[in-house]
Structure 1
Amino acid sequence: MSIRRKLSAAVGLAGLVLLAGCSSPGGSSSAASGTDPFDNPNGVRAGLAPVTARAEREKARKLIDGLTVKGRGTKTGYDRDEFGYAWMDKVDGVPFARNGCDTRNDMLRRDGRDLSYRAGSNCVVVAMKLPDPYTGTTIDWTKEKASAVQIDHVVPLSYSWQMGSSRWSKGKRQQLANDPLNLLPVEGRANSAKGDSGPATWLPPSKDIRCAYAVRFAQVAAKYALPVTAPDKKAMLEQCG
């Protein structure tokens, strides 16, 4: 083989290697940005991917349309402790329960990348990269700036209290508070801005994710037979319209 042909073959092989190196580990863009909520009914997979396919948006509207509607009640008697102490591990009936790691760290481990742990621990996350579905950004997070990432209850606990969880057993409230389906690590400022709002008064800053957010809100409400307000139902349907 001539020197010219050898060089040409080497360049071609190098090009193939470079192309192979550029493929994503998950093989699709959704793996990089999160999981389609319809492919994640138990909340055990990371993040939240946009819902864009026409068939899936129709499926989303059907799910949302099936939710019961009622007016928002009073906050009287609401206290975070009514849902158990924060991030308790010993809650039966939800994924990751009783694994020796608190719920907050379970969620950081589920959604974070390039995780670093406290010395001697395979539970306590001290640094990571978080693809934040609410803002569409990636957050370089360390435990020293803990509030930069917060765990959002998609259906806020106060909202649930006003919609009927005040009459639930404490065990069921503890499940809602620690159910991975209802939990997303997100940018702290976005979570603080949300408060206990429903979809009619707060939606993620990233418009691409809003239908997926509505689906997740509806999934949680349906799982716990929790009604939503009429404006919230309308807002969710509009996001998937």
Structure 2
Amino acid sequence: MIVVAFVALAPGGRDESDALTAEGLTSAPRSWTPTPTGPVTPTWRSGESSAAPTWRPSATPTTAAPGSAVSPALATLATLPVKGRAPKTGYDRALFGSAWTDDVTVALGRNGCDTRNDILKRDLIDISLVPATRDCTVRTGTLNDVYTGRTIFFRRGTDTSAAVQIDHVVALSDAWQKGARQLDEQTRRNLANDPRNLQAVDGPTNQGKGDADAATWLPPNRAYQCTYVSRQIEVKAAYGLWVTPEEHDAMTRVLSDC
């Protein structure tokens, strides 16, 4: 495995790399696993406090096993509306709330820590914390990057935090052009901070993605492409977004090869 040291990057002017401060928690690594689509508000297990959402990512930050979740993803893809991309007119990152706000009703929301640090906690290993921050600021950690397959060292700082960025799996401007314009402000805020739609990744790779959809960009790590596309489908279904014909065909090709 290639080990990549952190580098200084200039944050890009795009929604996926806003607010490169490194606030966070600490825990063992986590990864996304598909969940049933439906309401975007969290639910709770019987007998638990309503303050504790049931969302619990799986314990291994690796790619999905061959064939896992592919059939459900294809079935869900078949339910998504297919139509052209609407104009980007009127898009503004601020329409999705302030970057990494904790004031959301999705999993990990209103837990006292900003979303960026919640995702750093979930996706990094060997984390150290900044003292006296209520366990809410990640100082250092290691990312096993699912987009590139590389190992990246993270250190919080003005010149180093951008080495690890939080990607919106479904880019916010892409979402705006495919239905998010019609969502209310709270739902857009949820979309921008939903753990299902967020992944800590290599900074330069995230910058290269921009606001592309699956028709024009996929993670260079081919072993993660099935999971990546499945995540996009889950998010789009949960928030009532559509796909373009080209995007639909690209997603179908990826999932058919899994």
TM-score by length of 2: 0.75
Residue 84 of structure 2 aligns to a residue whose secondary structure is coil
Q: Which residue of 2 aligns with 1:4?
A: none
Q: Does 1:88 align with 2:101?
A: yes
Structure 2 residues without counterparts, runs of 5 or longer: 1-27, 43-54
Q: Does 1:146 align with 2:146?
A: no
Tell me: CA distance 1:229–1:44, structure 2 relative to 1, closer, same or farther (3 Å).
Answer: farther
Tell me: CA distance 1:240–1:51, structure 2 relative to 1, closer, same or farther (3 Å).
Answer: farther
Q: Which residue of 2 aligns with 1:129?
A: 142
Q: Which residue of 2 aligns with 1:226?
A: 241
Q: Which residue of 1 aligns with 2:205?
A: 190
Q: Which residue of 1 aligns with 2:192?
A: 177
Whether the aligned pair in 1 keeps the contact of 2:145 and 2:152 (CA below 8 Å) is: yes
Name the larger-Rg structure: 1
160-169 vs 217-226, greater mean Cα deviation: 160-169
* Pairwise CA distance, 1:73: 0.9
Structure 1: how far apart are the matches of 2:32 and 2:122? Answer: 15
Whether the aligned pair in 2 keeps the contact of 1:37 and 1:49 (CA below 8 Å) is: no
Whether the aligned pair in 1 keeps the contact of 2:144 and 2:152 (CA below 8 Å) is: yes
Q: Does 1:205 align with 2:201?
A: no
Structure 2: how far apart are the matches of 1:54 and 1:89? Answer: 35
Whether the aligned pair in 1 keeps the contact of 2:31 and 2:123 (CA below 8 Å) is: no
* Pairwise CA distance, 1:60: 2.6
State which of 34, 40, 47 in structure 2 corresponds to 1:38. 34
46-55 vs 61-70, greater mean Cα deviation: 46-55
Task: Give, as a single letter, the amino acid of the residue that structure 2 aligns with 1:65.
Answer: A
Structure 2: how far apart are the matches of 1:229 and 1:60? Answer: 16
Aligned length: 209
Q: Which residue of 1 aligns with 2:81?
A: 68
Tell me: CA distance 1:63–1:50, structure 2 relative to 1, closer, same or farther (3 Å).
Answer: farther
Structure 2: how far apart are the matches of 1:139 and 1:210? Answer: 20
Tell me: CA distance 1:39–1:177, structure 2 relative to 1, closer, same or farther (3 Å).
Answer: closer
Q: State the Cα RMSD in Å.
A: 2.1
* Pairwise CA distance, 1:128: 0.3
Q: Does 1:118 align with 2:130?
A: yes
Structure 1: how far apart are the matches of 2:32 and 2:189? Answer: 26
Structure 2: how far apart are the matches of 1:123 and 1:194? Answer: 28
* Pairwise CA distance, 1:59: 2.9
Structure 2: how far apart are the matches of 1:152 and 1:124? Answer: 19
Whether the aligned pair in 2 keeps the contact of 1:135 and 1:204 (CA below 8 Å) is: yes
Relative to its length, the structure with more helix (as a share) is: 1
Tell me: CA distance 1:36–1:180, structure 2 relative to 1, closer, same or farther (3 Å).
Answer: closer
Q: Which residue of 2 aligns with 1:20?
A: none
Whether the aligned pair in 2 keeps the contact of 1:33 and 1:131 (CA below 8 Å) is: no
